[in-house]
Structure 1
Amino acid sequence: MENLDSTVDSTENSKFSALYGGLIKEIAATSKMSTLDITCLLCVYYKFVRFNGPGAKQMKKNQFYQIYLVLFNVANVQVIERSLLAITKDTKYVSPRAWVDLFELYTTEDLERRMKFAFEVYDTKNTGVIDREQVGVACEKFFHEGDDEDELIELRADMTEFIMKKFDVDKDGVISFEDYSSVVSQQPVLVEFLGWLFPSNEERDLMAHVINMDSMLNYCNPDAK
């Protein structure tokens, strides 16, 4: 495998190829990302793993938290935890496959896949539905603390009511995936109706430059040839 990174010597490059060469081919066989994009993603992943010591094999979750903070300016631990839980059930580490899967999710235009991911993240009780309490908790983040607490409470209550009326299509008191998907399919901009989950175009641009994902650079720069 060609040495893609000047900070990795030939010995490390050979080790990288031995560790991830098979996985790169496996992912590339079904992924819409290019082989080069996948390789660049795993090269970054490998550097994080190396930082954990010579015997380390996977990225630690606290490292991933830092990535969220730096790339996406997201410090909400619950958002990070729920996002990772939707990709991997491992409670301590982020596997190389999970790492690639998450970035593929962040670059896909597949609305169905984005909806399934978003709903799983928002379903904080893991019941398969989102209830009024969960919506209310999410709405608390939409309004900053101010002097008039009564007004804030009223605004949050109004927003909760509005969201429930909008998304509880069958009027059974909860928002099912069917409710959610029927609304978002008509209005895709509402996929993140309970808060940030996907990088903005600017964040994707930063992510593309940091990780050297060529296809994303082309996406972010419409004039790219």
Structure 2
Amino acid sequence: MSIPVSVEVADENFLRQHSDFLKTLPKLTHFTQPEIDAIAIIYFKFLREFGVKREQMDRSQFRAFFHSTFQISDDFIIDRAFLFLDKGLTPFVTLETWIKTLSLFLRGTLEEKMKYCFFVYDLGGNGRLKRNDIIRLLRKCFIYEKDEDVELMVKEFADILVRKLDVDGDGEISYEDFSESVKKQRELLQCFGRCLPDLLSTVDFMQTFTSDLPI
């Protein structure tokens, strides 16, 4: 059951303008039609709050949304997320990307989330997580200063994770290695850095547009 979002005349016009498109999204997302309409209004209100006259969110607004709503503050991770979600083809987050992003974050299947997280972590874009890339990601998980002890700890932690996730023992982590490991131990999903909202942030945001909340 959706929760009515405060609707103004401008919001109604926005929904009317995008009505045909919005009706295609229940089959492509994990949302009902009333939820999609409510999320579209939130998108429009977000733009108005920033004083944007166009009808698309830019990357700085996308980062601000991540920061304020999901407490994900690493801009490097957010930019990797943006690349996955919109393929880097435009500097803007379209309404479609916005809704599909929230579908993934709030109700995505484990498979969808594994593919997303692995892409974010796959810095080389070749389907393999290498030790140096893992070290680079893990540095962001620490209050990092150029300290030999911290650097040693990061490298030791990287070696532990490689040994834990490298199912086929080839010294690198493929998507098959990653997914097999995560299915056995779900806390490994974001072991290289947080790129999904936690449960509290998820529930807080979902309460603004639906009563169908995660347990």
Q: CA contact under 8 A between 1:167 and 1:175: conserved in structure 2?
A: yes
Deviates more, 1:17-26 or 1:110-119: 17-26
CA distance in 2, matches of 1:58, 1:109: 23
Higher RCO (C-alpha 8 Å, min separation 6): 2
Deviation at 1:80, TM superposition (A): 0.7
SS in 2 for 1:215: coil
Aligned to 1:198: 196
CA root-mean-square deviation: 1.9
CA distance in 2, matches of 1:109, 1:93: 22
In the alignment, which residue of structure 2 is the partner of 1:213? Answer: 210
Corresponding residue of 2:61: 63
Alpha-carbon distance between aligned partners in 2 of 1:170 and 1:105, rounded to the nearest angstrom: 29
The Cα offsets for residues 9-65 of structure 1, whole Å up to 9 and x where unpaired, read as 2xx244223222112210013433121211111001122344311xx1311121111
TM-score (normalizing by structure 1): 0.85
User: Residues of 1 paired with 2:100 and 2:69: CA distance?
Assistant: 17
Deviation for aligned residue 1:128: 1.3
Aligned mate of 2:19, from 5, 21, 26: 21
Do 2:127 and 2:174's aligned partners in 1 also have CA atoms closer than 8 Å?
yes
Provide the secondary structure at the position in 2 that maps to 1:144: coil
> 2: CA distance between counterparts of 1:17 and 1:150?
55
Residue in structure 1 matched with residue 128 of structure 2 by the alignment? 129
Contact persistence 1:59–1:95 (CA under 8 A): yes
Q: Give the Cα separation in 2 of the matches to 1:79 and 1:201.
A: 19
- Conserved? CA contact 1:20–1:42, under 8 Å: no
Q: Which runs of 5+ in 1 are unaligned?
A: none
Unaligned runs of 5+ in 2: none
1:77–1:168 Cα change, 3 Å = same
The offset of 1:72, in angstroms, is 1.9
Q: Which amino acid aligns with 2:112?
A: R
In structure 2, give the amino acid aligned to 1:52.
V
> Does residue 150 in structure 1 map to residue 156 in structure 2?
no
Aligned ranges for residues 102-181 of structure 1 at < 5 Å? 102-145=101-144, 149-181=147-179
Give the Å deviation of 1:69: 1.1
Higher radius of gyration, 1 or 2:
1
Structure 2: how far apart are the matches of 1:184 and 1:24? Answer: 33
Give the Cα separation in 2 of the matches to 1:161 and 1:77: 25
Q: Report if aligned partners of 1:130, 1:176 keep a CA contact under 8 Å in 2.
A: yes
Deviation at 1:142, TM superposition (A): 3.0
Say if 2:86 and 2:97, in contact at 8 Å, map to a contact too: yes
Distance in structure 2 (CA, Å) of the matches to 1:48 and 1:212: 14
Q: Identity of paired residues, percent?
A: 23
